[in-house]
Amino acid sequence: MAAGAVFIAAAFAAATRVADTREGLIFEVITLFAGLAGVSLLLYGLVTTLGRPAVSSPALQPSARPVVKIHNAAELLVGGSGLVVAAILLGGIAATAGVLWTVLGAILLLPMIAGCAYLCVTFARGPRREWKVDLQELVNRRSRRV
């Protein structure tokens, strides 16, 4: 994560030297690559720490009965709001930039659209649904996994 922060700092430093000259274009390329590398390293550092179990955690005993997940309305809320945001973004691109840019935007937003649609579909098809939105669970979900 520290390397990612260094790359992002280098990207900001190079961005101050961007100009409409040959040297400025080189700094623009440095800005883009350093920003890409920095964000990638930061995300990698964050994601790899989420899946690790705690060192002193006891081993969990497998239960005899299968666990049925209860889908709550927060999944529907997050999925639906993500689809609305994607529709607004694509509508803005279509209104201002044209069809080809809208297609490119749709390709870039495809993972977000697929994830949000998946949340909505799993809520709709879930065997057990609970029609409540627990904001504390949405906010504290990451700390509960660690």
Burial of 116 per CB tally in 10 Å (0-12, 13-18, 19+)? buried
> Could you give the 3-state DSSP secondary structure of residue 130?
strand
129, β-bridge pairs: 71
Report CA dihedral (33, 40, 117, 76) to the nearest 10 degrees: -130
Domain residue spans in the chain? 2-50, 70-145
Model's pTM, two decimal places? Answer: 0.50
What is the tens place of the pLDDT at every residue in 30-71? 888 888 888 888 778 777 765 555 555 555 566 556 666 777
What is the tens place of the pLDDT at every residue in 68-123? 677 777 888 888 999 999 999 999 999 998 899 999 999 999 999 999 999 888 88
